[in-house]
């Protein structure tokens, strides 16, 4: 997006959300989305339009324990969050105070919006609760980019054989009708690791590559003997529906409907005509987004853009929407 002017600041947002009652991340007219409610809260508080760039869009029903976004803001608007009489003289201390004020005010508006939304459905929820919440607000350098500076994204897909679903987990765990052979699923996952053309596991977007480096794909029991199975998935980036497609293929192997070699065969064919099935959204959670040290942000941004085949032409829309980094 280029260098910031002296009158602008780049603000990083670390957040979490329960995707159950959201129509995904990306703003859509007439639908409640994470980007929509967060942008509205920020714009209301800062009294000017806000354009968010996100580490990776998530689909309707997908959750996030740790998502990252950023936006650029005029410094006077940001620093007006603290009354002039209360402002520290030190610029860094002032910005930190503004970050704390923004976090507090945004979370207050997100909580109010959640209660009002649930009231429209006829459901009452406890005060002080919300389904989206900022975890941290920080001022970062112009080299930071929530999307392209990221080194990797980590997801967990939670599933359980039929009859073992904990009632309180029905919103974030997918109940599978048959018992699952986790050893077969893990064996089937091994050939998918590494850098490949994942067309059979992605919904491609025009002009974007479906080549990704899959760094982790394994099934393990959830700690505590809950009976829930966790599929840990990690990659440099994900294309649309990639995690849910990977899990969908492994479920077919686990329940005995497909041979262990089938996911690797799909990978080799690289065809949308022989695409993997897509597991339901509600079992998927974005666990974390990791970044290099600040000194490496700029190099990582340039490296990631080259790898994804993007030649940024100055249009803000592609950056704001988060491009093809969408696993759910």
181 is annotated as an active-site residue: no
pLDDT along the chain (328 residues), means of 10: 74 98 96 98 96 95 98 95 90 95 98 95 89 98 97 96 86 93 98 95 82 96 92 94 96 96 95 90 97 96 78 35 51
**pLDDT recorded at residue 218:** 97
Cα gap 169→152, rounded to integer Å:
27
* Among the four given CATH numbers 3.40.50.1360, 3.30.70.580, 3.40.50.620, 3.30.70.260, the one describing domain 8-149: 3.30.70.580
Global pTM value:
0.91
Cα gap 232→218, rounded to integer Å:
5
Of 94, 49, 93, the C-alpha closest to 71 is 49
Residue 125 φ then ψ, to 5°: -125, 155
Pairing of strands 152-161, 211-221: unpaired
CB 61 within 8 A of CB 171: no
Output the six-digit token pair for 229: 């199975």
Of 268, 255, 115, the C-alpha closest to 191 is 268
- For the chain, state the CA radius of gyration: 21
Q: Where are the domains of the chain?
A: 8-149, 152-286
Q: Which of 59, 131, 145, 172 is catalytic?
A: 59
CB 81 within 8 A of CB 57: no
**pLDDT recorded at residue 128:** 86
The CATH-assigned architecture of domain 152-286 is 2-Layer Sandwich (3.30)
Pairing of strands 63-74, 8-17: antiparallel
Cα gap 169→205, rounded to integer Å:
33
Pairing of strands 174-176, 152-161: parallel
Output the six-digit token pair for 128: 């002080």
Cα gap 39→217, rounded to integer Å:
33
User: What is the three-class DSSP state of 6?
Assistant: coil
Cα gap 63→172, rounded to integer Å:
8
- The answer to whether 8-149 and 152-286 have equal CATH topology is yes
Pairing of strands 8-17, 229-235: unpaired
């Amino acid at each position: 997006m280029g260098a910031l002017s002296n009158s602008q600041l780049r603000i990083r947002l670390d957040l979490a959300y329960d995707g159950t009652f959201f129509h995904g991340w990306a703003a859509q007219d007439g639908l409640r989305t994470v980007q929509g409610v967060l942008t509205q809260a920020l714009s209301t508080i800062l009294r000017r339009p806000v354009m968010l760039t996100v580490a990776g869009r998530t689909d309707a029903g997908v959750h996030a324990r740790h998502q990252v976004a950023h936006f650029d803001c005029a410094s006077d608007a940001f620093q007006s969050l603290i009354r002039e009489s209360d402002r520290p003289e030190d610029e860094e201390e002032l910005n930190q105070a503004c970050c704390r004020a923004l976090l507090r005010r945004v979370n207050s508006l997100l909580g109010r919006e959640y209660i009002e939304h649930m009231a429209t459905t006829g459901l009452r929820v406890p005060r002080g609760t919300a389904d989206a919440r900022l975890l941290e607000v920080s001022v970062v350098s112009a080299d930071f980019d929530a999307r392209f500076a990221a080194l990797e994204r980590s997801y967990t897909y939670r599933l359980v054989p039929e009859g073992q679903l904990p009632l309180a987990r029905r919103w974030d765990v997918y109940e599978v009708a048959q018992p699952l052979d986790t050893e077969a699923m893990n064996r089937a996952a091994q050939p998918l690791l590494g850098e490949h053309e994942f067309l059979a596991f992605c919904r491609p977007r025009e002009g974007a590559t479906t080549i990704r480096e899959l760094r982790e794909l394994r099934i393990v029991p959830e700690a505590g003997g809950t009976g829930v199975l966790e599929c840990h998935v990690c990659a440099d980036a994900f294309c649309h529906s990639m995690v849910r497609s990977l899990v969908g293929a492994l479920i077919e192997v686990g329940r005995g409907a497909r041979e262990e070699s089938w996911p690797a065969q799909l990978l080799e064919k690289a065809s949308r005509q022989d695409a993997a099935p897509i597991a339901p959204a509600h079992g998927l959670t974005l666990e974390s987004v990791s970044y290099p040290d600040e000194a490496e942000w700029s190099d990582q941004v340039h490296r990631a853009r080259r790898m994804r085949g993007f030649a940024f032409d100055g249009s803000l829309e592609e950056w704001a929407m988060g491009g093809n980094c969408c696993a759910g």
